[in-house]
Chains A and B, each alone.
Chain A
Amino acid sequence: MAVKNLDEREFFFGHKACAGCGGSLAVRIALKVLGERTVAVLPAGCMSAVGFNFPQLCFANNAFITPFAATASVMTGLEAGLRRRGEKDFIVAGFAGDGGTADIGLQALSGAMDRGDNILYICYDNEAYMNTGIQKSGLTPPGAKTSTTPHRGSRRPKKDMPAIVAANGVSYAASASVGYLDDYIKKLEKAKSVVGVKYIHVLAPCPTGWGLGSDETVEIAKEAVDVGVWELKEYENGRWTVNRKPTRPQDLERHIDRQGRFRIQSQYQEDSRNGQR
């Protein structure tokens, strides 16, 4: 069990995330694994909004806010600057949302991947632009209701970010979930030891945007893997390995129905079954 070897100290503490926020759990655990010589880099998004409220500073390690589009570029600059100063044994780790990663920050990440910079980029995926009021992002799944999707929810597929990153030939890529912290911790440890661009995409449910109780986020993140809507996998040496097979695909419908953001969708399906649409 991962609990024993984990650093007892908290590096992301006192933040103003909503109660039960999956993203804050993803950041907290990552910093416990990566340690105090981590420079955290955060673009605009919930994790920077809840972590930096002057003069409250919730990161106990070094941490920076970047312009929304610039996460990976700022990481590149910090890594080069620290190296130039003769610093050793540090990690530059980015924590960007799904919008910050798959949409506006994709070009900066593309540049860093092209250069093969030595950075660890973590996308905490809450499947919408949460900090500004739940707008649809490129990672919002089909059927999910946001404040900018039509009444029946998003009609676009979720961009396959892990595949996009792997296609750029990064050193290491993985998908993870806050519902499987053991697996997430293993991937962070692996990423820590690899040189080059490392990318971890962690599913991090948002009770506020998904229409969940504050106590349900970890459970939902685990269930997403179990029913097969989110895959835990790893990309190394040019090849993907699936770490976990869905164990209860039969519960898919229940998994969808319990999330408020899909409720219009399930109502719609029910109505069309009854011939009302």
Chain B
Amino acid sequence: MRLRPWPDKTPEWTAFEAGYLVTSNGDWRSVRPVIDKERCVECGLCYLHCPDGTISRDLLVDYDFCKGCGICAKICKREAISMRREADYA
């Protein structure tokens, strides 16, 4: 999850506050991971392996920044994560 809230001012120079995010990545996705809490055993492997850090330790997916790569679904030994068509959520 992001560490800072959406900023309300633009930086004046190229050295400025770390973690300053103005655009999201969620619209890159064509499929989205959905976690089935019934099957999940909270091992944390999906959280650990996500290249974008978009699954939190308490297993909430940040759909503003998840790119839908599918690594989390593949690493899950319980098959608790399914990749669903993004079009169905539009």
B53 to chain A, nearest CB (A): 4
Find out whether the CB atom of A10 lies under 8 angstroms from the CB atom of B3. Answer: yes
A28 to chain B, nearest CB (A): 5
* Residues from chain B with Cβ under 8 Å of A215 in the complex: 69-71, 73-74
Find out whether the CB atom of B48 lies under 8 angstroms from the CB atom of A13. Answer: no
Distance in angstroms between the alpha carbons of A61 and B10 in the assembled complex: 19
The secondary-structure label for the interface of chain A is loop
* Residues from chain B with Cβ under 8 Å of A28 in the complex: 51-53
In this complex, the interface size class of chain A, counting residues with CB under 8 Å from chain B, is 35 or more
Beyond A19-B69, A55-B11, whether A1 also contacts B44 by CB under 8 A is: yes
Task: Please tell me if A20 contacts chain B, counting CB pairs below 8 Å.
Answer: yes
Find out whether the CB atom of B43 lies under 8 angstroms from the CB atom of A57. Answer: no
Find out whether the CB atom of A25 lies under 8 angstroms from the CB atom of B51. Answer: yes
Chain B residue nearest to A222 (CB atoms) is: B75
* Residues from chain A with Cβ under 8 Å of B84 in the complex: none
* Residues from chain B with Cβ under 8 Å of A219 in the complex: 74
Residue from B23, B56, B67 within 8 A of A56 (CB atoms): B23
Find out whether the CB atom of B70 lies under 8 angstroms from the CB atom of A214. Answer: yes
* Residues from chain A with Cβ under 8 Å of B38 in the complex: none
Give residues 181-215 of A contacting B (CB, 8 Å). Answer: 181, 213-215
Contact code string B1-29 (vs A, CB < 8 Å = 1, else 0): 11110000011001011111111110011
A218 to chain B, nearest CB (A): 5
A102 to chain B, nearest CB (A): 23
Contact code string B25-60 (vs A, CB < 8 Å = 1, else 0): 100110000000000000111011111110011000
B48 to chain A, nearest CB (A): 5
Chain B residue nearest to A54 (CB atoms) is: B14
How many residues of chain B have a CB within 8 Å of chain A? 40
Find out whether the CB atom of B28 lies under 8 angstroms from the CB atom of A56. Answer: no
Find out whether the CB atom of A60 lies under 8 angstroms from the CB atom of B70. Answer: no
Task: Please tell me if A171 contacts chain B, counting CB pairs below 8 Å.
Answer: no
Residue from A4, A63, A217 within 8 A of B71 (CB atoms): A217
Find out whether the CB atom of B18 lies under 8 angstroms from the CB atom of A57. Answer: yes
Give residues 1-35 of A contacting B (CB, 8 Å). Answer: 1-4, 6, 8-17, 19-22, 24-25, 28-29
Beyond A2-B48, A56-B20, whether A14 also contacts B25 by CB under 8 A is: yes
Residue from A2, A4, A14, A19 within 8 A of B68 (CB atoms): A19
Find out whether the CB atom of B49 lies under 8 angstroms from the CB atom of A55. Answer: no
B18 to chain A, nearest CB (A): 5
* Residues from chain B with Cβ under 8 Å of A55 in the complex: 10-11, 16, 20, 22
**Best-buried of A4, A62, A218 by chain B (most CB within 10 Å):** A218
* Residues from chain B with Cβ under 8 Å of A95 in the complex: none
Distance in angstroms between the alpha carbons of A133 and B3 in the assembled complex: 32
Find out whether the CB atom of A9 lies under 8 angstroms from the CB atom of B3. Answer: yes
* Residues from chain A with Cβ under 8 Å of B24 in the complex: 14
* Residues from chain A with Cβ under 8 Å of B20 in the complex: 55-57
Find out whether the CB atom of A10 lies under 8 angstroms from the CB atom of B2. Answer: yes
15 additional A-B residue pairs with CB within 8 Å, beyond A13-B19, A22-B51: A3-B47, A3-B57, A11-B19, A13-B3, A13-B53, A14-B2, A20-B70, A24-B51, A28-B52, A29-B48, A55-B10, A55-B22, A58-B21, A59-B18, A62-B18
A interface, CB within 8 angstroms of B: 1-4, 6, 8-17, 19-22, 24-25, 28-29, 54-63, 181, 213-219
